[in-house]
């Protein structure tokens, strides 16, 4: 019997040996073919970072397809002819494995990534074009990673600029509307001058970033990071780093990712959402040189709040739980909960808008998992109406000069539909299908509210310009998956119909 067992063991070892020898060496494949673009440490270079935190939105099968066939409109070539399917699988397994120990991205790394491309003294005093600088749109084209600067009167592109991979979230504008700041999912922050149409500085503030916010006085930029767990403060003038704040609970024991950071103008600072600890952070911004320039206030909450909506006075914050199942209203002055809000169906609070209806302020919130729009009375914090929509969607947009708000159903089979809500009667009054079968989303108005611009979210997509009163199409401008567009005037004057 012992003889039989050892014979079997030997046979198993002999069988396993050739199999093991045939296993691809993913690390050396990576070093030979991928490291030059994606970094020897997988933290990115010319190409994006290949770490699980940054790949979270891409399924492994889709990643294997990118390795085999490349990515259109980028430098990523296909490797189907170089690698066997087993080698591709081994590479994909490798990039979805966390890097241990967790990579460091602190002040030295951030500082080393900083570059200023243009001497501020050489910037022109006036725009180098004739268009109204406050009615420009910055269009983020996520298909081939560019921004387009669009004249908001003639709807003519003025300039196209390459960006880092995967710019996400709303760009932020300096208070005078001259500069725009972009952030990429890989943590790159870029400052672009809308007068000279040039990128003037950039820095990598994290490995996996969520978004950025500019302090109300325009002096400090805050970067919310998932990886590492930091909030990074930059000088808005040249993007040089000021401070890296390790984000933890009050006891310093539990680290937290930062879901997002927002400017809060009447509060002279930032408000940040923490993903892993039950605190909301409020950070004021004092004058440069002040001893305690960034005092931090920790507001304890019952559970982490992830997605935020602010009332126009920034007195109240509506926040939703991580699973989107619960929402609460907080009074930011007292730090106390004012009311619970019953918003089932994963409310997308960050996309909410507000307006006056019959003498009271109401807010409208789309839902990511329900074909509904919730209208909430902002005095009683009661749901006024649940309006059935064509399907779950990301965004709703309005404007002070228009009685209509536009919403998409981009997360549903009706993803090619835009619906228009009459904000007076709370009725859906029109349905548009700008490109049948193609996803349409993210509307933004021109500065005067006369035009509404929608995105066709396809590689061969477009911005479709509508007359916002008659809902007729005025113009269609080809763009590469224009994920969002942002009007300078509406942003800097904090239109209640758009995000800030």
Q: Contact residues for ligand DHE (CB under 6 A)?
A: 57, 142, 168-170, 210-211, 260, 350, 394, 442, 483-484, 499
Give 87 or 276: the residue with its C-beta nearer to ligand DHE. 276
Give 88 or 497: the residue with its C-beta nearer to ligand DHE. 497
Give 206 or 350: the residue with its C-beta nearer to ligand DHE. 350
Give 159 or 442: the residue with its C-beta nearer to ligand DHE. 442
| Nearest distance, CB of residue 352 and ligand DHE, angstroms | 11
Inter-helix orientation angle 60-69/85-95, to 10°: 130
Give 79 or 394: the residue with its C-beta nearer to ligand DHE. 394
C-alpha distance across the termini of the chain, in Å: 76
| Nearest distance, CB of residue 208 and ligand DHE, angstroms | 10
| Nearest distance, CB of residue 348 and ligand DHE, angstroms | 8
Helical ranges in 58-183 per DSSP H: 60-69, 85-95, 107-113
Rounded CA separation 318/269 (Å):
18
Rounded CA separation 361/212 (Å):
28
Characterize 353-370 residue by residue with b for buried, 16 or more Cβ atoms within 10 angstroms of its Cβ, and e for exposed: bbbebeeebbbbbbbbeb
Characterize 283-296 residue by residue with b for buried, 16 or more Cβ atoms within 10 angstroms of its Cβ, and e for exposed: bbbbeeeeeebbee
| Nearest distance, CB of residue 21 and ligand DHE, angstroms | 39
Give 79 or 486: the residue with its C-beta nearer to ligand DHE. 486
Q: Cβ(307)–Cβ(285) under 8 Å?
A: no
| Nearest distance, CB of residue 241 and ligand DHE, angstroms | 19
DSSP string, 20-86: HHHS--HHHHIIIIIHHHH-TTSS-SSSPP-SHHHHTTS-HHHHHHHHHH--TTSS----TTTS-HH
| Nearest distance, CB of residue 368 and ligand DHE, angstroms | 7
| Nearest distance, CB of residue 483 and ligand DHE, angstroms | 4
| Nearest distance, CB of residue 224 and ligand DHE, angstroms | 8
Tokens 């349409």, residue located: 440
Q: Which residues pair with 466 in a beta bridge?
A: 452, 473
Q: What is the DSSP letter of 424?
A: T
| Nearest distance, CB of residue 255 and ligand DHE, angstroms | 19
Give 90 or 260: the residue with its C-beta nearer to ligand DHE. 260
* Stretch (H or E) spanning 236: none
Give 196 or 229: the residue with its C-beta nearer to ligand DHE. 229
Rounded CA separation 283/213 (Å):
12
Give 142 or 419: the residue with its C-beta nearer to ligand DHE. 142
Rounded CA separation 56/298 (Å):
29
Rounded CA separation 316/336 (Å):
10
The 10 Å Cβ neighbour count of residue 32 is: 11
Q: Give the gyration radius of the chain's Cα atoms.
A: 25
């Amino acid at each position: 019997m012992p003889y039989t067992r050892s014979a079997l063991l030997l046979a198993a070892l002999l069988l396993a040996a050739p199999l093991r020898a045939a296993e691809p060496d993913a690390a050396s494949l990576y070093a030979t073919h991928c490291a030059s673009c994606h970094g020897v440490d997988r933290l990115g270079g010319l190409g994006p970072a290949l770490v699980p935190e940054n790949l979270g939105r891409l399924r492994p099968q889709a990643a294997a397809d990118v390795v085999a066939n490349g990515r259109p409109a980028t430098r990523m070539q296909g490797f189907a002819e170089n690698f066997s399917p087993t080698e591709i699988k081994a590479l994909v397994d490798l990039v979805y494995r966390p890097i241990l120990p967790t990579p460091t991205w602190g002040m030295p790394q951030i500082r080393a990534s900083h570059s200023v491309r243009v001497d501020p003294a050489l910037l022109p005093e006036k725009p180098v074009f004739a268009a109204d600088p406050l009615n420009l749109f910055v269009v983020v084209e996520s298909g081939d990673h560019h921004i387009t600067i669009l004249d908001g009167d003639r709807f003519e592109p003025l300039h196209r600029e390459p960006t880092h991979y995967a710019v996400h979230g709303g760009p932020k504008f300096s208070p005078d509307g001259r500069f725009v700041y972009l952030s990429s999912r890989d943590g790159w922050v870029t400052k672009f001058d809308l007068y000279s149409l040039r990128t003037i500085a950039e820095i990598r503030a994290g490995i996996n970033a969520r978004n950025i916010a500019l302090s109300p006085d325009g002096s400090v930029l805050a970067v919310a990071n998932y990886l590492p767990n930091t909030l990074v403060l930059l000088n808005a003038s040249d993007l040089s780093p000021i401070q890296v704040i390790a984000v933890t609970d009050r006891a310093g024991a539990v680290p937290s990712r930062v879901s997002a950071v927002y400017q809060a103008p009447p509060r002279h600072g930032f408000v940040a959402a923490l993903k892993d600890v039950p605190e909301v952070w409020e950070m004021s911004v004092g004058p440069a040189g002040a001893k305690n320039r960034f005092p931090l206030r920790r507001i304890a909450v019952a559970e982490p709040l992830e997605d935020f909506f602010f009332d126009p006075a920034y007195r109240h914050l509506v926040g939703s739980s991580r699973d989107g199942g619960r929402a609460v209203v907080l009074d930011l002055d007292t730090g106390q909960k004012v009311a619970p809000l019953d918003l089932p169906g994963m409310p997308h609070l960050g996309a909410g808008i507000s307006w006056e209806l019959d003498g009271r302020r109401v807010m409208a919130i789309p839902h990511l998992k329900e074909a509904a729009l919730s209208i909430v009375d902002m005095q009683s914090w009661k749901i006024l109406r649940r309006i059935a929509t064509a399907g779950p969607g990301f965004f709703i947009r309005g404007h002070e000069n228009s009685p209509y708000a536009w919403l998409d159903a981009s997360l549903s089979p009706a993803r090619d539909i835009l619906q228009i809500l009459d904000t007076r009667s709370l009725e859906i009054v029109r349905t548009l299908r700008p490109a049948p079968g193609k996803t349409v989303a993210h509307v933004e108005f021109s500065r005067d509210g006369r035009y509404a611009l929608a995105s066709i979210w396809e590689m061969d997509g477009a911005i479709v310009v509508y007359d916002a009163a008659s809902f007729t199409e005025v113009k269609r401008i080809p763009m590469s998956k224009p994920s969002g567009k942002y009007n300078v005037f509406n942003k800097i004057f904090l239109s209640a119909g758009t995000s800030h």
